[in-house]
Structure 1
């Protein structure tokens, strides 16, 4: 017969006292301090004026003349048989849109205009204003009809454009060179017309602009147009 022995142990015994002394739990949980990094403020844009030599001028260079930003449209380095060499340029004023011809002495110093370019998407028109959005920050920029000018003829919702600013002011809007438009009104083509055939006719596209197109183009056709010249390029 197996005997059974019973032990009576009270909570005040030395075993419990020794265990509780070894496993001392804090009265409240410890909290590790969390380190928060300070928010980095956005840096204001610093406008710089860099000097360049007239010998470095090329098409597309932005220069500052008489306190205004200009874009070089054409240039020619001239070395006459007599006298000093010079650079003949054709410039367009970003602010006024005026185009002038100006010469610079070869090797002379010219201030480079700090023109800042940002990619924006034309989202919609609000009254007389055109709204452009930065797709990374969702920040909106609004331009008046006078700011957009004749480029409204080729501007479509969802089109990616470049906004150019100088000293915090928008000075120009760059459209894609090739824009795709839909023909909404045009005289019907003549039977037998081919893509290589001659002749043209006016066509109205979905932006309201009128483009001279080949005779074979019909209503509903998607066409490609050069936004710089307004000339028909091909069917899309």
Structure 2
């Protein structure tokens, strides 16, 4: 801390007492000494609350990771408010309904996302690769589910890791796929709008405008499975 210190000058042979009155103490300010380095300060970690739940939240319940599919804040006329949720277990794939008391603490699942490239299908397994280390990660067909209809070799996806294990993956929101089979539209139909089913190179079937033809590339929204535009 900054403070003051007092010095008193002593007489020396060259000092002429007749030229000055008796010496008086004087003070000089002192700078504070540098503080010793302490322990590093870490940001405070705030508890995850049921009030923070939203669709897509990752939470840990009974030692397992769950994804919030639906939620609803309920405030009854009598009794305490609560949050009603529909959860999907990342490991088993099962979905359950669960309620949480409003404001109750919930543990967030420590899920890490890493970008990997889908490379090929090996039997019933889908193989993803880290392009830096060339390490492979495999998911079973049961783990991939309906997402397989949008998977195309060379596509970058986000793999989800929990406790060092791959538990799921996220597709790109928009994918570019090729129409391999489609019925020709009737002349004049394009002016009136309308759509027709088209089979894509991944095996997925989507409704496309009547002007779309075989061999064309289109953009599809993987969240809804709907045609967006020509690529």
* TM-score normalised over the length of structure 1: 0.72
**1:192 is the counterpart of 2:184:** no
- Which 4+ stretches in 1 moved above 4 angstroms? none
| 1:229 matched to 2:224 | yes
Cα distance in 2 between the residues matched to 1:59 and 1:143: 24
* 1:207 Cα deviation after fit: 0.7
Give 3-state SS (helix, strand or coil) of 1:60's partner.
Answer: coil
In 1, are the aligned partners of 2:137 and 2:166 still within 8 Å (CA)?
no
Partner of 1:15: none
Q: Distance in 1 between matches of 2:142 and 2:88?
A: 17
Q: Which residue number corresponds to residue 58 of structure 1?
A: 54
Mapping 1:146-225, distance limit 5 Å = 146-194=142-190, 197-225=192-220
Contact (CA 8 Å) 1:200, 1:212: kept in 2 or not? yes
The alpha carbon displacement at 1:138 in A equals: 2.3
- Structure 2 runs not aligned, ≥5 long: 1-45
Summarize the alignment of residues 21-32 of structure 1 with structure 2, pairs less than 5 Å apart. Answer: none
Task: Encode CA deviations 1:103-143: one digit per residue, 9 max, x unaligned.
Answer: 11011121211112111011222333322111232222122
Structure 1: where are the runs of 5+ without partners?
Answer: 1-49
Q: Distance in 2 between matches of 1:66 and 1:152?
A: 30
What is the TM-score with the length of structure 2 in the denominator?
A: 0.74
Structure 1: distance between partners of 2:215 and 2:192: 20
> Are the counterparts in 2 of residues 182 and 205 from structure 1 also a CA contact under 8 Å?
yes
**Aligned-pair Cα RMSD in Å:** 1.9
